[in-house]
Amino acid sequence: MPGVPLSEEGRAQADALAEALAARPIRAVLSSPVQRAQETAAPIAARLGLPVLTDAGLDEIDFGAWTGAAFDDLDGQPAWDAWNRFRSFAPTPGGETMAAAQSRALAAVALAAAGGGEVVLVSHSDVLKAVLAHFLGTPLDLLHRIELAPASRSVLVLYDDSARVDGMNLLPLPPGEGRGEGSGTHLA
């Protein structure tokens, strides 16, 4: 929900992610408009000398009436249980479907990739899982099989007619330890 900033731990994770991406030839940093995503993107962009570009396609899922509710309060509600079992079609009350969120996020990925080179897209766990599910050929109903830790990153390499997932749930390495991944779209 809006107005939730990163915790001290979250800011430290964002800084570590910025350090991990500092040497990459990244041309743009795009973020969800949600405050905590913007706060995650800020140190990455600052480290690279780039602005944070806001993209509504990367926004959190619109949970409608569930926005701000505690998981314990939702647990056992038929609509919540259906949402967690059948993400491909179960609606949120007054919000959007997972398929709608996936569609808008994929449009943001396609637009970002169209410029070529490496970009960083900062979004939210389920939105990023939906993007990865698309490129992995995984149904939305099995989204829970993809794990993404806070401030982890995943790497997509997009071609004109295909795509490859080079990494998922990658945690920042200590300074000086590099990864041999190729160029691509970094999802954080």
Give 155-176 pLDDT, tens digit per residue. 999 988 889 999 999 988 554 4
Rounded to whole angstroms, the Cα distance separating 31 from 96 reads 20
Mean pLDDT of 15-25: 94
Residues 92-116: tens digit of each pLDDT: 999 999 999 999 999 999 999 998 9
Predicted confidence at residue 13, as pLDDT, reads 94
Rounded to whole angstroms, the Cα distance separating 142 from 24 reads 32
Percentage of the chain beyond pLDDT 70 is 93
C-alpha closest to that of 167 among 150, 188, 181, 147: 181
The residue with greater pLDDT, 1 or 119, is 119
Structural contact between residues 39 and 11, judged by C-beta atoms closer than 8 angstroms: yes
Q: Give the residue carrying structure tokens 């949120």.
A: 92
Q: Which residues contact 65 (CB under 8 A, 6 or more apart)?
A: 92, 93, 94, 95
Domains of the chain and CATH, by start: 8-187 (3.40.50.1240)
Helix (H, G, I), strand (E, B) or coil at 15: helix
Predicted confidence at residue 146, as pLDDT, reads 96
Residues 119-144: tens digit of each pLDDT: 999 999 999 999 999 999 999 999 99
In this model, does residue 1 exceed pLDDT 70?
no
In this model, does residue 179 exceed pLDDT 70?
no
Structural contact between residues 77 and 99, judged by C-beta atoms closer than 8 angstroms: no
Helical ranges in the chain per DSSP H? 8-21, 35-48, 71-74, 78-85, 98-114, 125-136
* Two structure tokens written together for 70: 């505690």
Strands 26-31 and 52-54: parallel
Predicted confidence at residue 176, as pLDDT, reads 47
The mean of the pLDDT values for the chain is 91
pTM over 0.85: yes
Percentage of the chain beyond pLDDT 90 is 85
Predicted confidence at residue 126, as pLDDT, reads 96
What is the distance, to the nearest Å, from the Cα of residue 149 to the centroid of all Cα atoms in its chain? 10
